[in-house]
Structure 1
Amino acid sequence: MLFVRGLLDRLLVVCAVVAGGLVPGFIAQYRQRLGGRLDQARLDLEPWQRLADQFHHGDIRTLIQYHLDSGDPKFHAEGAVIRSLVDTVQQLQSTVDALHASLFRQVGYLLLHADPGLARATFNDWVPTFALSAEGIVFALAFAAVTWLVFQGAWRLAALAGQGLAGRASASPGEPIPQPRRLSPGDGRPRNGSQWRR
């Protein structure tokens, strides 16, 4: 059993180092895809920004309000579309800014705020790359260490649970569990004059 645990232990650490080393590459590809979405949203907003520059001194919020205040339903609907585009650009820009932090912060941000559709699309087209930067190697080693510690804890809990189940199964319900007898120095007899046996 010790051999199997040692083998699993080493295999898990190697796999965790490789998996941790692939995370920065995935984040870079996610960031590229996110940048593409931001560029497209800016292109969609550009004609409206030109109108704001021409008629409202560059203030797109005034253009949006002008459209929303209109009695024409089509004009009013355009105001909602422009506002949605502005909000999308701002949200995508804040996400891009958050993904220009350290690798550990990027991972934390994506764990909490990743766009599921964008993450799925990135994963489907993902080309695995191993990060060889200092930060990428440190992340891979830290990921492996955390994974190894979780494995050790799970293994110990499983071993304790197994011992508890085995102890309960061997003892009958009404019978007390026998306690081991303590040995005293008088319990041994000399053998060959130098060794003691019980």
Structure 2
Amino acid sequence: MLRSYLRLVLFALGLLIGLQVPGFIADYAKRVEAHRLEAEQGLSGFRQTAQRFFQGDLDALVAHYRASDDAVMRSDADSVAHLVARAKLLDKEWAAMQGAWYVQVLHLATAADRRLLRETWDGYSYQVLLSPTAIAWGLCAALLLAWLVESVLLLVAGMLGFGRERRARQRHWG
């Protein structure tokens, strides 16, 4: 009986963990979007200058700043280059988060910006979404966790010899 309750608790834990996945994905996507809009706003003046003098090429604007005789312009080239690189990174992250759910999960697991992930995790508050996607994630995580833990425990019990006596009795008497 205790084993049944432990299975239920394990299943419930897996369900609650799985329900968090879509919420975290949504929070990450919102954070990327917010940073992306802020980066675009920070670059807007430089974009206008690049449009006017370099056909919109920000890299050409940075190269022009770096080649300048003015020390202030050369110094600002690094700042503008940093803003341009950040905007490109955020555009790439935003594009990755526009794909299907499995593309988003794969991106978060393998290629997401670690700083943005940490920022999202630090600001994340646990939530229980009841959307079909969240419910599917919850059920899948619950079943997977329950199956993995029970399989590991049965494997360990088998290696330690628990349950052999009962199986032997069942063969001889059952």
TM-score, reference length from structure 2: 0.81
Q: Map residues 58-97 of structure 1 onto 2, 5 A cutoff.
A: 58-97=56-95
Partner of 2:146: 148
Between the aligned partners of 1:102 and 1:146, the Cα distance in structure 2 is 22
104 and 137 in structure 1: CA distance in 2 versus 1, 3 angstrom threshold: farther
Computing the radius of gyration from Cα coordinates, the structure with the larger value is: 1
Partner of 2:28: 30
Number of matched pairs: 167
Structure 2 unaligned regions, length at least 5: 165-170
Partner of 2:167: none
Q: Report deviation, 1:79.
A: 2.0
Q: Choose which of 35, 46, 49 in structure 1 pairs with 2:47.
A: 49
- Asked if 1 retains the 8 angstrom alpha-carbon contact of 2:93 and 2:112, the reply is no
Q: Report deviation, 1:129.
A: 2.6
Deviation sequence 1:77-114 (CA, Å, 0-9, x none): 22222222112111111111111222233222212234
Between the aligned partners of 1:147 and 1:105, the Cα distance in structure 2 is 22
C-alpha RMSD of matched pairs (Å): 2.6
Between the aligned partners of 2:52 and 2:103, the Cα distance in structure 1 is 41
Of all paired residues, the percent bearing the same amino acid is 25
Q: Map residues 142-181 of structure 1 onto 2, 5 A cutoff.
A: 142-163=140-161
- Asked if 1 retains the 8 angstrom alpha-carbon contact of 2:22 and 2:133, the reply is no
- Asked if 1 retains the 8 angstrom alpha-carbon contact of 2:46 and 2:58, the reply is yes
Query: Relative contact order (C-alpha < 8 Å, sep 6+): which is higher?
Result: 2
Aligned amino acid, residue 148 of structure 1: A
Aligned amino acid, residue 121 of structure 2: F
Deviation sequence 1:157-185 (CA, Å, 0-9, x none): 22123228xx9xxxxxxxxxxxxxx98xx
102 and 142 in structure 1: CA distance in 2 versus 1, 3 angstrom threshold: farther
Between the aligned partners of 1:15 and 1:89, the Cα distance in structure 2 is 39
143 and 102 in structure 1: CA distance in 2 versus 1, 3 angstrom threshold: farther
Structure 1 unaligned regions, length at least 5: 168-181, 184-196
- Asked if 2 retains the 8 angstrom alpha-carbon contact of 1:21 and 1:130, the reply is yes
Larger displacement relative to structure 2 (9-18 or 118-127): 118-127
Q: Choose which of 3, 6, 12 in structure 1 pairs with 2:4.
A: 6
- Asked if 1 retains the 8 angstrom alpha-carbon contact of 2:31 and 2:120, the reply is yes
Aligned amino acid, residue 57 of structure 1: Q
- Asked if 2 retains the 8 angstrom alpha-carbon contact of 1:21 and 1:131, the reply is yes
Partner of 1:132: 130
TM-score, reference length from structure 1: 0.73
